[in-house]
Structure 1
Amino acid sequence: MKQHKGRRISGSDRLNKDLSVWSPLGPQYGTVGRAWFALMTEAEKVSDLHMEVKTALTGEHLEKIKNWQKDAYHKQMIGGFKETKEAEDGFRKAQKPWAKKLKEVDTMKKAYHNACKEEKTASSRESSSKLENNNPEAKKKLQEKVEKCQQEVQKTQERYRKSLEELEMMTPQYKENMEQVFEQWQQFEGKRLHFFRELLLVIKQHLDLSSNHKYSTIYHTLEDTLQAADAQEDLKWFRSNHGPGMPMNWPRFEEWSMDSNQTLSQGEAKRKHADGVTQQTEQTSKTSSSVPVPSSLNPFDEDEDGEDEEEPAERSESSPVAEEVTAQTAGTVEKTAAAGSDEEAGNPFTNTNSNPFEDEPCSPCEVCVPVRALYDYEGRGRDELSFRAGDQLMEISEEDERGWCKG
Structure 2
Amino acid sequence: MQNPSPTGISKTVIWLMSIISGLVVANNYYNQPLLGLISKDLNVTESAAGKISVLTQLGYAFGLLMIVPLGDKFLRKKLILIDLILVTLSLLWMTFATELWMLYATSLLIGATSVIPQLFVPITAELSSETQKSANIGLVVSGLLMGILLSRFVGGIVGEMWGWRSMYGIAAALMLLIWFIVYKMLPEIQPNFKGTYFELMNSVIKLAKTQPVLQLSSFRGAMGFGSLCALFTTLVFHIERPPFEAGASVAGSFGLAGAVGALAAAKVGGLQKKMSINRIILYSILILISSWGFSYFAGDTYWGLIVGVILIDLGVQSNHIMNQTNYFLLKTNAVNRLNTVYMVSYFIGGSLGTYLASVAWKYAEWKGVCVVGLSMGLAALLAHILFADKIYKKQLNQ
Shorter-chain TM-score tier:
under 0.3
**Higher CA-based Rg:** 1
Bigger relative contact order, structure 1 or 2, given CA contacts below 8 A and separation 6+?
2
Task: Identify, as 1 or 2, the structure richer in strand.
Answer: 1
State TM-score, norm by structure 1. Answer: 0.18
State TM-score, norm by structure 2. Answer: 0.18
